[in-house]
Amino acid sequence: MTAAELLKSRPYAPSAPEKRAMLLDGLNELTVHHRRNCVPYDRIVKALFNGADTVDELSALPWLPVRLFKRTDLVSVPHEKIVKTLVSSGTTGQLPSRIFLDRETASSQARILATIAGDFLGKARMPMLIIDDASFLRDRTRFNARAAAILGFSSLGRDHLYLLDEQLLPDWNALSSYLEAHRDTPILLFGFTFIVWQNFVEAALAEERSFHFPPGSALIHGGGWKRLEDRKVSEESFKAALAERFGIERVHNYYGMVEQVGSIYFECEHGRLHTPAYSDILIRDPVSLEPLGVGEAGLVQVLSVLPRSYPGHSLLTEDLGTIVGEDDCPCGRNGKSFRIHGRLRNVEMRGCSDTRPVPAV
């Protein structure tokens, strides 16, 4: 099955054996495509993975460290076909990743995001409150992973309200009017985890404000928990504050990254992140890089059939995670379920440092 055919599957329908067979076909096909069309990627595969075009198991697929996208431009389509360049937010002192999308890849990613979200939220587009500032969306020089995520998720809703101003202060009067206008309709909220907490929940607590969102309203949030952990805010207290202060009881965290944008892993009502039919994860030992089993913590490798304009279909992240199970979550969704524990600090991934610098494409 090709990558394009796999994208037509329902997100959580295939059983583990079916999914592995379909993913292996699609990912092998992408490896061949990227080797033929991206010279730096082909060099890496030859140098580090014995140059095999196809493999017999997912754990044998060639992978790139996500850090490599901060060091070189990797493109697998003619430059004139690039319609969008995404830039990661990055941290101080680090170069951002640059991800190049053609029309086909961008369209596939938008479509799959809607399909995955629809399984959790339903097909109807709800009024949408975005807990962020809209100004940087108008400035293309500031267009980065944050803007891309907001634009991507905003397609899931309608009648959008951006709650925060350019100083990230909430407009409570606008929120009151919005809730009144949509008092009989569930509302979809989206924001980055720390911004939701600091500029929405804590701001309301500080001003002793509370709002009642209609029943069935849901929050989608993503991003690292590090700054919340520093403030001693757990997932349980995060959700409890949203329920108490706003009446929002449906809260879905998600895991994703700009290097594989569109490959989104949603958290179900039982607190597990789920791999859809189009994506998967492996866990590798941080030292040996050997694959680990269920319940063993290690580095997360993400696989996806979406990236076609750049070789991002098999990436080794610097995040630590654990596979909880496969096809056995109480929510009824098939696929692997997993949890993320944070980021491995101060590492230089083997395979990145061992590879000679490759020129920009």
Q: What is the pLDDT of residues 311-336, one digit of tens each?
A: 999 999 999 999 999 999 999 999 99
Residue 138 has pLDDT above 80, yes or no: no
Q: Assign 224 a pLDDT band (cuts: 50, 70, 90).
A: low
Q: Are residues 250 and 287 in the same domain?
A: no
Residue 143 lies in a domain: yes
Q: What is the pTM of this model?
A: 0.88
How does pLDDT run across 261-304, given as a tens digit for each residue? Answer: 768 999 999 999 999 999 999 999 999 999 999 999 999 999 99
Q: Are residues 305 and 247 in the same domain?
A: no
Phi, psi of 143 (to 5 degrees): -75, 110
Q: Higher-confidence residue: 58 or 5? A: 58
Residue 349 lies in a domain: no
Residue 212 lies in a domain: yes
How does pLDDT run across 186-209, given as a tens digit for each residue? Answer: 999 999 999 999 999 999 999 999
The total of structural domains in the chain comes to 2
Task: Show which of 191, 220, 255 is a domain's final residue.
Answer: 255
Q: Are residues 138 and 250 in the same domain?
A: yes
Q: Which of 42, 10, 150 is nearest to 89 (CA)?
A: 150
Residue 350 lies in a domain: no
Residue 115 lies in a domain: no
Q: How many CB atoms lie within 10 A of CB 73?
A: 18
Q: What is the CATH number of the domain that holds 298?
A: 3.40.50.12780
Domain range for 168: 124-255
pLDDT of residue 360: 32
Q: Residue range 62-87: average pLDDT?
A: 93
Residue 50 has pLDDT above 90, yes or no: no
Share of the chain above pLDDT 90, in %: 70
Q: Are residues 34 and 146 in the same domain?
A: no
Q: Are residues 85 and 17 in the same domain?
A: yes
Q: 216: number of CA atoms within 13 Å, CB side?
A: 14
How does pLDDT run across 93-134, given as a tens digit for each residue? Answer: 567 888 999 999 999 988 999 999 999 999 899 999 999 998
From residue 23, how far is each of 30, 322, 348 by CA, in Å?
10, 21, 29
Residue 286 lies in a domain: yes
pLDDT of residue 226: 67
Task: Show which of 233, 255, 277 is a domain's final residue.
Answer: 255
